[in-house]
Amino acid sequence: MTKRVLFARVGWMRWYKGVQEDDSRPIGGGAYNETEIGHEAFNFLPVENRYLGYFQPQLQPQERQETNPSSIHLERIEHAFLGNKLEHVLVIFVARNPDEGGQYIVGWYLDATVYRYEQKSTLKARRQLGYFLETAAVDDFGMLLPLGRRSFRVPGGVKGGFGRANICYTLDDHGSPKENSPWMADAAEYVTSYGHENAATSPESATDQDIAEVVEVSIESGAGCQSNPRIRKAVEEYSMQWAEKRLRKLGLKPRDTHKTESFDFLCTSGGADLFVEVKGTQSDGTCISLTPNEVAHAKQYSNSALFIVYDVKVEGKRRPKVTGGKELLLMPWDIAAGKLAERSYTFTVPQSAFS
Instruction: Give the residue with greater pLDDT, 241 vs 149.
Output: 241
Task: Name 348's bridge partners.
Answer: 287, 339
pLDDT value at residue 352? 76
Secondary element (H or E) of residue 188:
helix 182-193
Cα 233 from chain centroid? 13
- Measured distance between the N- and C-terminal CA atoms of the chain, rounded to whole angstroms: 49
Instruction: Give the residue with greater pLDDT, 244 vs 262.
Output: 244
Spatial CA neighbour of 25 closest among 95, 90, 93, 91: 95
Summarize pLDDT for 163-218 with one digit per residue, the tens.
889 999 999 988 888 888 899 999 999 998 888 788 888 765 555 566 566 666 66
Interhelix angle 292-300/203-222, rounded to 10 degrees, is 90
Q: Which of helix, strand or coil describes residue 259?
A: coil
Give the residue extent of every domain in the chain: 5-201, 204-354
For residues 328 and 350, the answer to whether their CB atoms sit within 8 Å is no
pLDDT value at residue 185? 93
Percent of the chain with pLDDT over 70: 85
* Rounded Cα distance, 28 and 93, in Å: 13
Summarize pLDDT for 274-290 with one digit per residue, the tens.
999 999 999 888 888 88
Residue 155 carries which DSSP code? P
* Rounded Cα distance, 270 and 82, in Å: 56
Tell me the pLDDT band of 85, cut-offs 50, 70 and 90.
very high
Burial class of residue 111 (count of CB atoms within 10 Å of its CB; 0-12, 13-18, 19+): middle
* Rounded Cα distance, 52 and 114, in Å: 10
DSSP 33-82: HHHS--GGGGTT--BTTEEEE---PPPPGGG-BTTB--B--GGGTSTT--
Average model confidence (pLDDT) for the chain?
A: 85
State mean pLDDT over 150-167. Answer: 90
Summarize pLDDT for 309-339 with one digit per residue, the tens.
999 999 987 788 999 999 999 999 999 888 8
pLDDT value at residue 59? 58
Percent of the chain with pLDDT over 90: 50
Phi, psi dihedral angles at 10 (to 5 degrees): -130, 175
pLDDT value at residue 7? 97
* Rounded Cα distance, 150 and 115, in Å: 27
* Rounded Cα distance, 64 and 145, in Å: 35
CA distances from 336 to 58, 184, 302, 306, 349 (A): 54, 41, 11, 13, 10
Long-range contacts formed by 161-166: CB under 8 A, 24+ apart: 162/7, 162/9, 162/94, 162/103, 164/58, 165/9, 165/57, 165/58, 166/8, 166/9, 166/10, 166/29, 166/30, 166/55, 166/56, 166/57, 166/58
- Side-chain half-sphere CA neighbours of 58 within 13 A: 14
For residues 325 and 242, the answer to whether their CB atoms sit within 8 Å is yes
Q: Which CATH number fits domain 204-354: 3.30.70.100, 3.30.70.270, 3.40.1350.10, 3.60.110.10?
A: 3.40.1350.10
- Side-chain half-sphere CA neighbours of 22 within 13 A: 3
Amino acid at 316: G
pLDDT value at residue 322? 93
Amino acid at 12: W
DSSP 240-255: HHHHHHHHHHTT---E
Phi, psi dihedral angles at 223 (to 5 degrees): -90, 5
Phi, psi dihedral angles at 229 (to 5 degrees): -55, -40
pLDDT value at residue 99? 82
Single pTM value for the model: 0.66
Burial class of residue 234 (count of CB atoms within 10 Å of its CB; 0-12, 13-18, 19+): buried
Summarize pLDDT for 91-132 with one digit per residue, the tens.
999 999 988 889 999 999 999 999 999 999 999 989 999 999
Summarize pLDDT for 14-72 with one digit per residue, the tens.
999 988 877 778 888 777 776 677 899 999 999 999 999 999 886 555 544 455 568 99
* Rounded Cα distance, 332 and 162, in Å: 42
pLDDT value at residue 65? 47
* Rounded Cα distance, 165 and 113, in Å: 21
